[in-house]
């Protein structure tokens, strides 16, 4: 089957042929004919990242745009700035020979005035992130009343990042007779709700099974004690000299710590997390894209929209809490028909998670042994020799030095030269791994005997000691920063969760980089902490604020919630808050400030803190 056979026209064919397109991918072969032949029926498509989705919806939309009509005819939404830019660039390349087509990307982190000017010149297709798109609609600079196509790319990612309200707002601005195209790798409840409420008799296309992993990605795991995870990561990197990987951590703190250790140990690595400015983020991502970095250490939110081809590994330094997130992680490798490898560095208490993931991706995870020192040194040695054999010698550049070099080595035999060369190159590895211990352990299905139970018991003791140390360290880390605690009259009864509350704070304050600490979510109200220096911005920002028709009330509050009273709650608690002036909360194992919390609502706020950073891009 060719692109011409499925209906792609001449101008687009010429452009994509120059880009190296030969035949449609499965998602393109099913999607393009449907969109060209059925301009009114909505489409619900399930496909992993890297399967050619952009061309699947982009080519038929470009082909059907009325160039003579300057109105915005298509709005495409993507979860992150990076993916938004990538989609716009791809569309421009597909339309290189389509005269007069204007594609305008709109996203946060850059001047909105520049984007407004581009929209004023006419934009047939607008590609936007949800936050910036809503902002432009509110300013009446982006008008969607003539839209014929609405594309939601990576809809599950947008909803995971807390953009439910923004999507609802944008969808309500579009005409009823548009064609809605929803692309998603997984099918969580919120994606199903969007499909139910905003799509009509949608045709469903599946490339692979919903929530299943890519077929050309293999899954492996290493079992070590928690304290040995970093050592395992180093050994995996050392035994794969040509590694080009994203290493996923659960929190920003872990991301920074792992990246700092790798850099100190001489690896080409860097961190990508929510505390970076957009300029810093762009520099790190560019270095990774061009191969200056071999390992990028990232949180899930920070890595969203990062489109990097040729990854050799995805490494799960920490398994995600949501099993669907694992599908997204592993789908970043094994693209364009190539084999990919998703590795997990697990500890003995995570066998249950691994079994759940096996059911989801419908593949068995292979248990691998962390390589020992001798094995690593041997691998590095033969890799070096292979690289030397492949090295092309530039005679004209090295010739002026050869006479002196040969004279220096005239008394050495070939064998002696090789030995010395190898010794110079491998001194570091030989010394580092001399006497290296075996850090592999058995657990779960691999061992049910007494030794396995003793290993798990020792691991639990280690974990307890480690958690105590972490608590003390985090307490010290945040003791220097003063937080203010606020009461807000919104809670779970008003459909507020930590992610939504983060969004409300962002939307109603001028400063978009406010650090949000602990969140205590109740039924009818909540408490949240922010850096004390932003007290004024929070108070001012919530004057005359509303949420879904409810007037928002925000007040400074110093008390810690003990229980939720019946009735209106706030009136009965106000006295306790006034009596207890102990300051803006305290550090405890139940929850910490700054988004690294554990347990209860605060653990959700920890994950939401990274998600909150994602909303700012």
Question: What CATH number does residue 124 fall under?
Answer: 3.40.50.300
User: Is 485 found in the same domain as 385?
Assistant: no
Tell me the longest C-alpha to C-alpha distance in the chain: 94
Chain centroid, CA 157 distance in Å: 9
d(CA 35, CA 344): 39
Q: Once rounded to an integer, what is the mean pLDDT over residues 34-44?
A: 87
> Is 461 contained in some domain?
no
Q: Say which residue, 181 or 40, is predicted with more confidence.
A: 181
> Is 104 contained in some domain?
yes
Q: Once rounded to an integer, what is the mean pLDDT over residues 149-172?
A: 88
User: Is 413 found in the same domain as 305?
Assistant: no
Which of 320, 347, 372 delimits the end of a domain? 372
| Residues 45, 186 contacting (CB under 8 angstroms) | no
User: Is 588 found in the same domain as 532?
Assistant: yes
CA distances from 563 to 168, 356, 606 (A): 33, 35, 22
Q: Determine the pLDDT at residue 120.
A: 94
Centre a 10 Å sphere on the Cβ of residue 284 and count the other Cβ atoms it contains: 22
Per the structure, the count of domains in the chain is: 4
Q: Determine the pLDDT at residue 396.
A: 87
User: Is 170 found in the same domain as 21?
Assistant: yes
User: Is 140 found in the same domain as 29?
Assistant: yes
> Is 453 contained in some domain?
no
Which of 146, 180, 206 delimits the end of a domain? 206
Of 11-15, 46-50, 353-357, which gets the smallest average pLDDT? Answer: 46-50
User: Is 384 found in the same domain as 486?
Assistant: no
Token couple for 269? 């690595």
CA distances from 561 to 481, 494, 569, 584 (A): 21, 19, 11, 12
Nearest C-alpha neighbor of 347 from the set 443, 255, 453, 254: 443
User: Is 351 found in the same domain as 382?
Assistant: no
pLDDT category at 96 given cuts 50, 70, 90 is: very high
Terminal CA-to-CA distance of the chain, rounded, Å?
Answer: 40
Specify the pTM. 0.53
> Is 30 contained in some domain?
yes
- Asked whether residue 472 carries a pLDDT value surpassing 50, the answer given is no
pLDDT category at 114 given cuts 50, 70, 90 is: very high
pLDDT category at 138 given cuts 50, 70, 90 is: very high
Determine the structural domain holding residue 292 and report its residue range: 217-372
CA distances from 229 to 271, 466, 468 (A): 17, 13, 18
d(CA 365, CA 363): 6
CATH code for the domain in which residue 490 is found: 3.30.70.330
> Is 418 contained in some domain?
yes
Burial of 413 (0-12, 13-18, 19+ CB in 10 A): exposed
> Is 222 contained in some domain?
yes
Pick left, alpha or beta for residue 592 (phi over 0 → left; psi -120 to 50 → alpha; otherwise beta): beta
> Is 464 contained in some domain?
no
User: Is 495 found in the same domain as 364?
Assistant: no
Q: Determine the pLDDT at residue 314.
A: 95
> Is 4 contained in some domain?
no
d(CA 283, CA 279): 6
Angle in degrees, CA 56, 616, 327, rounded to 5: 45
User: Is 162 found in the same domain as 286?
Assistant: no
User: Is 406 found in the same domain as 340?
Assistant: no
Burial of 567 (0-12, 13-18, 19+ CB in 10 A): exposed
- Asked whether residue 191 carries a pLDDT value surpassing 50, the answer given is yes
User: Is 174 found in the same domain as 41?
Assistant: yes
User: Is 307 found in the same domain as 388?
Assistant: no
Q: Once rounded to an integer, what is the mean pLDDT over residues 321-330?
A: 80
pLDDT category at 223 given cuts 50, 70, 90 is: very high
Burial 267-281, CB ≥16 within 10 A → b, else e: bbbbbbbbbbeeeeb
How does the average pLDDT of the chain come out, rounded? 79
């Amino acid at each position: 089957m060719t692109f011409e056979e499925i209906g792609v026209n001449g101008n687009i064919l010429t452009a994509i042929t120059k880009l190296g397109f030969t035949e449609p991918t499965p998602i393109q072969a099913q999607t393009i004919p449907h969109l060209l032949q059925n301009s009114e029926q909505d489409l619900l498509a399930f496909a992993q990242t890297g399967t050619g989705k952009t061309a699947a919806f982009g080519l038929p939309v470009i082909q059907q745009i009325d160039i003579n009509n300057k109105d915005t005819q298509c709005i495409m939404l993507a979860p992150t700035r990076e993916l938004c830019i990538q989609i716009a660039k791809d569309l421009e390349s597909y339309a290189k020979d389509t005269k007069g087509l204007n594609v305008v990307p709109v996203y946060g982190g850059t001047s909105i005035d520049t984007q407004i000017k581009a929209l004023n010149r006419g934009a047939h297709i607008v590609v936007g992130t949800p936050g910036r798109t809503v902002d432009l609609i509110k300013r009446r600079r982006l008008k969607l009343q003539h839209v014929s196509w609405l594309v939601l790319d990576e809809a599950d990612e947008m909803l995971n990042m807390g953009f439910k309200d923004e999507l609802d707002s944008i969808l309500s601005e579009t005409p009823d007779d548009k064609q809605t195209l929803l692309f998603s790798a997984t099918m969580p409840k919120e994606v199903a709700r969007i499909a139910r409420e905003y799509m009509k008799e949608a045709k469903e296309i599946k490339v692979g099974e919903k929530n299943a992993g890519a077929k050309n990605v293999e899954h492996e795991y290493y079992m070590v004690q928690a304290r040995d995870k970093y050592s395992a990561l180093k050994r995996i990197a050392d035994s794969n000299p040509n590694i080009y990987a994203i290493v996923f951590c659960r929190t920003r703190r872990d991301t920074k710590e792992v990246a700092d250790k790798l850099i100190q140990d001489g690896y080409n690595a860097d961190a990508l997390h929510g505390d970076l400015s957009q300029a810093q983020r762009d520099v790190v991502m560019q270095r990774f894209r061009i191969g200056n970095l071999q390992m990028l250490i990232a949180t899930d939110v920070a890595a969203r929209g990062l489109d990097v081809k040729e990854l050799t590994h995805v490494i799960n330094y920490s398994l995600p809490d949501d099993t669907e997130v694992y599908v997204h992680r592993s789908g970043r490798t094994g693209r364009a028909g190539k084999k990919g490898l998703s590795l997990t560095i697990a500890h003995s208490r995570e066998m249950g998670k691994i079994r759940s993931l096996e059911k989801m991706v419908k593949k068995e995870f292979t248990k691998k042994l962390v390589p020992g020192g001798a094995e690593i040194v041997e691998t590095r040695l033969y890799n070096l020799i292979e690289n030397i054999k492949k090295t092309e010698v530039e005679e004209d550049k090295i010739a002026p030095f050869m006479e002196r070099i040969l004279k220096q080595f005239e008394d050495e035999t070939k064998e002696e030269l090789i030995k010395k060369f190898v010794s110079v190159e491998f001194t570091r590895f030989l010394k580092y791994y001399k006497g290296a211990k075996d850090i592999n352990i058995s657990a779960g299905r691999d061992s049910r005997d007494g030794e396995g139970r003793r290993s798990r018991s020792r691991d639990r003791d280690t974990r307890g000691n480690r958690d105590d140390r972490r608590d003390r360290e985090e307490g010290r880390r945040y003791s220097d920063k003063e937080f203010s605690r606020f009461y807000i009259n919104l809670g779970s009864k008003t459909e507020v969760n930590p992610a939504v509350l983060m969004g409300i704070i962002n939307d109603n304050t001028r400063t978009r980089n406010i650090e949000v600490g602990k969140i205590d979510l109740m039924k009818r109200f909540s408490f949240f902490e922010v850096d004390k220096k932003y007290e004024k911005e929070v108070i001012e920002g919530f004057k005359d604020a509303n949420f879904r028709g409810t007037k928002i009330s925000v007040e400074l509050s110093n008390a810690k919630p003990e229980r939720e009273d019946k009735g209106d709650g706030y009136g009965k608690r106000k006295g306790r808050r006034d009596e207890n002036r102990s300051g803006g909360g305290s550090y405890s194992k139940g929850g910490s400030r700054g988004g690294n919390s554990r347990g209860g609502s605060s653990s959700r706020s920890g994950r939401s803190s990274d998600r909150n950073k994602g909303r700012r891009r």
